[in-house]
Amino acid sequence: MRKMPPPYSGWLTAKEGAASGCGFSVLVGIQNVGAGPRNHVIITDPGVSKCHFGMKVDHNGRIIADYGSATGTYENAQKIHQARLDEGDTLTIGDTCVLEFSQRRPQSHPSTWKLVYGKIFGLMARSHPLHLGDNWFGEDDAADFELGEAPWAGALRVYPDRVVLLHGEGFLQTRPLSKGERFELGGKSVTLQGGP
């Protein structure tokens, strides 16, 4: 039984480009999207600016705004400066990246990353394969993996070449993780393995 509503209001799924197959949670608050490593969603396709556009999500809905990017932000093939983001809208940024918004969770695609926890030295270790995009952890029935005692313990944003931890209030803080790094997630010590 679900204990709390999910901390997201929909999904942006990369349909084309370097992050193709990744489904990113659209979180309540302000999120930045671009090629720079400090963005909430990192898109490294050619033509994507360091901080390309932002999303503001609150009780009034979802608003996107281009941050003066070099190539512009296009919603449903129309160049925009600011617009509402609604079900089925597509965003094109850079030369090759196409994102689609949906309130339904996208189909997951496997990645080469996994989490290992328990006794790591060969005994009783458990592993969870991670899928591309956001992997949510907690004890809520809608979580991808039961881990921790909170309904929503955190999330890992998995790209083909990197993994980023979503944490803090509203899960809007990000921290890049390294292959082999040991860290806390939902009160458990876990290790990130795999990747390129």
pLDDT digits (tens, 9 = 90+) for 71-98: 999 999 999 999 999 999 999 999 999 9
pLDDT tens sequence across 23-58: 999 999 999 999 999 999 999 999 999 999 999 999
Q: Going along the chain, which residue ranges are E strands?
A: 8-16, 23-27, 29-34, 41-42, 53-58, 61-66, 73-75, 78-80, 82-84, 90-93, 97-102, 110-117, 126-131, 133-138, 145-146, 154-158, 163-167, 173-177, 182-185, 188-194
pLDDT of residue 181: 95
SS3 147: coil
Position 170 confidence tier, pLDDT thresholds 50, 70, 90? confident
Q: How many residues does this entry show for the chain? A: 196
pLDDT of residue 122: 57
Rounded to whole angstroms, the Cα distance separating 83 from 123 reads 53
Rounded to whole angstroms, the Cα distance separating 135 from 122 reads 25
Does residue 153 register a pLDDT over 60?
Answer: yes
pLDDT tens sequence across 87-130: 999 999 999 999 999 999 999 999 999 998 876 555 667 888 99
Q: What's the pTM value of the predicted model, to 2 decimals?
A: 0.88
